[in-house]
Amino acid sequence: MTELELKYGCNPNQKPAKIFMQNGELPIKVLNGRPGYINFMDAFNGWQLVKELKEATGLPAATSFKHVSPAGAAVAVPMSDTLKKIHFVDDMELTPLATAYARARGADRMSSYGDFIALSDTCDVATAKIIAREVSDGVIAPGYTDEALEVLKSKRKGTYNIIEIDPDYVPAEIEHKDVFGITFEQGRNNMKFDDSTFSNIVTDNKCFTEDAKRDLIIALITLKYTQSNSVCYAKDGQAIGIGAGQQSRIHCTRLAGNKADIWHLRQHEKVMNLPFKADVRRPDRDNTIDVYISDDYMDVLADGIWENFFTEKPAPLTREEKAEYLKTIKGVALGSDAFFPFGDNIERAKRSGVEFIVQPGGSIRDDNVIETCNKYNMTMAFNGVRLFHH
């Protein structure tokens, strides 16, 4: 198959639309459904991300994509009972690949609503069963077991998008893109990350733990396929906060940091024990938990909306309680797709438990950024690599 006709492009008015190869056959098969333009954009970016995560870590990997940026990405690091519960998989069988997807989906569950999934390995039935009960547009993987395929084909009344990609496909070294009738050409971004990423440590603290190295590599590969400007917080084998497509670096750091804080606060005892009614759906639980964690919850209490979700009125999680809980967070890794121009980014990162940083360096204020890291005994390396993605 050299081309595949699509229903429309980014929007219904953008017709005709198709994907095709200038030379050779498309490296994909559509096993079910009718993926659209944006679905394929998410699928191909997501596949590159998980393929590189698997190559870099040796672990099965998964990502949850929305509008050509990852909402979450992770590798198969076993989860604690607490993480299983906040990721809504405490009642599920968890193979390594299923663990990776549960982590990826759990990074930012609100943003992952209606995601496109990419899996590094053959989709097994345990992973398919998790996907089957979430709101999702489709999945791309190098293969599917017969049982997994049967589960996925039953999703969305039989219209769920299932794409199989040739894992041995290697794209051309030169990329082309048309904008306003003008063709851009560039070499592919084939940057890889390994221990050399951490060779230029510029802070007084020179210690990168092995877990920190793994998490920083996850952050950097995630950033490689995130719309810029972008910043990624990672911990425990997964992204926990991704700030994408911001014009200002500090806004990236704040956005990603706020998402990371929510991920941590979901593990707070009060959140874990919220008295949800049995019939409240997972997406509604996700939204309600985010509201409960937010500073708007007192307004919601006053409106009496809690009665729609809870068997009894839960006590609020106060600002003071949230601040005290977040002070206990440590060991978070932070990657940036370009240099930090000011120390304010480090100040914000510190509030979310960041101890390990990799960024390109090269700002005229590098000294200020390094000084701020030293103030908090953080470890930071300059890798000299910018990762803009557009």
Would you name the residues annotated as active-site residues?
A: 66-67, 229, 390
Which of 251-260's residues contact partners 24+ apart within 8 Å by CB, and which partners?
Answer: 252/336, 253/336, 253/340, 253/345, 253/348, 253/349, 254/348, 255/231, 256/230, 256/231, 256/232, 257/233, 257/348, 257/349, 257/351, 257/352, 259/107, 259/108, 259/233, 260/233, 260/235, 260/332, 260/352, 260/353
Instruction: Quote the CA–CA distance of 16 and 5 in Å, as a whole number.
Output: 8
Residue 102: which residues within 8 A CB-CB, separation 6 or more?
Answer: 79, 84, 87, 88, 89, 92, 94, 130
Alpha-carbon distances, residue 149 vs 84, 122, 142, 154, 163 (angstroms): 24, 11, 12, 9, 11
Alpha-carbon distances, residue 340 vs 125, 248, 259, 337 (angstroms): 43, 10, 19, 9
